Structures are given as structure tokens and as C-alpha cells.
Amino acid sequence: MSRLHVVSGKGGTGKTTVAAALALALATEGRRTLLVEVEGRQGIAQLFGNEALPYEERKIAAAPRGGEVHALAIDAERALLDYLQMFYKLGSAGRALKKLGAIDFATTIAPGLRDVLLTGKACEAVRRKGKDGRFAYDSVVMDAPPTGRITRFLNVNDEVAGLARIGPIHNQAQAVMRVLKSPETAVHMVTLLEEMPVQETADGVAELRAAGLPVGGIVINMVRPRILDEDAVRAAGGNRRTDVAKALSQAGLGGARRGGLAERLVDPLLEQAREHAERLRLEREQRNEIADLGLPTYELEFLGDGADLSGLYRLAADLRKQGVVEEGS
């Protein structure tokens, strides 16, 4: 049963929007979800219409039937200060290191350490329990780095192997990997029905599987509506100028005489129909590529008005209808 949902995808596929919608979907029926950002872009705050998120967990939305979504923007420097305090009790000395720039220096020269801190904070939220012995959050959703970096980001144990083979850092990496490679975790990939995002998704899934990281589902985002049925698609490929002109005339758009309004509309309409038919053909090919990955697949509609808060609730409802809550809860 997955409790940590890692959301990745090629840039431009809307992975942050999908992560936010997934958090809302999982926070139904009184559940509590934590939505985590690790890239410092404050994309979550913008989606929910909030000010920049601080380095603390705070409620940002209510979900249907009593659920709650909390959010956290993880800062590597602050996470390292927490880490130093936890293991070394540095206190004010740790804050002094920050002022001297030592923490920024450490996370810059050792990017693997930075990833341990970021993933470690999310994994801590997954394991954390309250005084009543229950988990603090039913689900944790991470808006993770893009597909090209996701495997390296999550495979922190290999990243820190050259930095520390024993001691607290090594132990922390091992603890993180125990969560990330367990059934508690699912890495979801966001894609569009376009060749490059689908190919990058397939490559990312292969890398995750090779690293032993658990792959969840594929979310096909920004799916545009199908305007033409199969008969209309087939007709668009043929020479139907006369039939189209007659239909336009019958619809009241001028007579079918040569040079009339109906006649002038025929070619542009047929061209649009052919373009639509070609798009459907390419999308069908990409759907077949995604199906070959053998993973659960979900589809989210294209939001013509943009991904505002009401749009997020619509996407969350779509994910619930498609069974994402049952698979993740």
C-alpha cells in the first residue's frame, strides 16, 4: 500500500499540477495529505493561490468530506540544520555555519548530500506518528525533479556511498532507501500524448526499474477532447467537398453555388478536420507506447482556463473516479 507518492515528468507536462491534484484526491474521506516541494520554485503556493510556503508544514486546502491537504517547501539548508541538530546537537553553532556559508558550500560540493536531505525530510513525514500511534499523514505526495533526474535523485544511497560509508549520513541514506524501495512508495510519471514526453517517460520507467525503485502509474495530462467521431475522421481523409458544401448550405450558411459562403468554407473546414484526424492518429500511437509499459494509466483533461484552484478540484475528482485513491490508499 503506497503512502509516499513521488510525481515526476518531463518539463512542461504539468507535473506540479498533477501532484497537487493527486494530493487533493488522496485527502478524501477525512484523510490528511502532505504535499512536498523540493525544487524551490514555489509552484505549489502559486497553484493554491497562497503566499510563498515557509519551511514548515501548513494547511493549504480542504478536501471533500473532511480531508486536509498540508504543504511543505523543503529547503536543503534548513534541512541540514535540522540534521546537524538531530545528530550532533550543534544548536547555535549550526546557525553560525549557515551565516558563514558553510552549509551552502557543503550542499553544493556534495549534491548527493542535498538529495539525502530533501528525500529524507519527505520520508520522515511518511514515518512520523502522533502520540496516539497513528501516522501523522495518510499520504505524502512529492513534487519531484523532472524525469531526466528522478532516478539519480531518489537513488541517494548510491550517491552518498563515496561520501560516507559509515556514520549518521550513511545511516540516514540507508533509512531513506528502505522507504523509497518499499511498497510504501510509488513513483508516478506525468506525460503528454506527444512523442518526446512519452519517450522520456519510457526511458524514466526503465531507469527506475533498473534501480529497483517502485514505479506507480502513468498520468496522461492535458488530454484534449475528441471532436470528430470515427466516421467523420475517415471522411476528412477523402474528397468530400461537395457533401460538405451541401451540408453547410442546409445549415443555413449560404447557398451551395460556386463562390458562395458555403463553398468558401469547405477547404478550411476540411483542412482542420484533416489536422484533427492526424492528431488523433499520433495520439493513438502514443497511447499504444504507454500501454506497452504495463502500468496503471490515468487521463486528465486539458484545462482551457488554466490550472486554478477550481481546476485542481476537477482534476482531483477525475483521479478519484479513475481509482487512484483505491490504488494509493
How long, in residues, is the chain? 329
- pLDDT in the model for residue 279: 83
Q: Which of 110-114, 128-132, 151-155, 297-301 has the lowest mean pLDDT?
A: 110-114
Q: Tell whether the model's pLDDT for residue 193 goes beyond 90.
A: yes
According to the CATH classification, is domain 4-224+302-328 in 3.40.50.1580?
A: no
Q: Tell whether the model's pLDDT for residue 237 goes beyond 60.
A: no
Q: How far lies 85's CA from each of 89, 119, 173, 189, in Å?
A: 4, 18, 17, 35
CA dist., res. 78 & res. 92, Å (int): 13
67-73 and 185-191 strand pairing: unpaired
Q: How far is CA 301 from the centre of its chain?
A: 14
Q: Residue 133: what residue type?
A: G
Q: Domain locations in the chain?
A: 4-224+302-328, 230-276
Highest mean pLDDT among 83-87, 203-207, 323-327 belongs to 203-207
The model carries a pTM of 0.83
pLDDT tens by residue, 197-206: 999 999 999 9
- pLDDT in the model for residue 78: 75
pLDDT confidence bin for 138, thresholds 50/70/90: very high
Using alpha carbons, select from 92, 186, 78, 195 the residue that is nearest to residue 140: 186
Per the prediction, the chain carries an average pLDDT of 83
pLDDT tens by residue, 252-267: 555 545 555 556 676 6
- pLDDT in the model for residue 225: 84
- pLDDT in the model for residue 182: 95
Using alpha carbons, select from 172, 140, 142, 143 the residue that is nearest to residue 159: 172
Q: Which of 61-70, 262-271, 294-303 has the lowest mean pLDDT?
A: 262-271
- pLDDT in the model for residue 240: 63
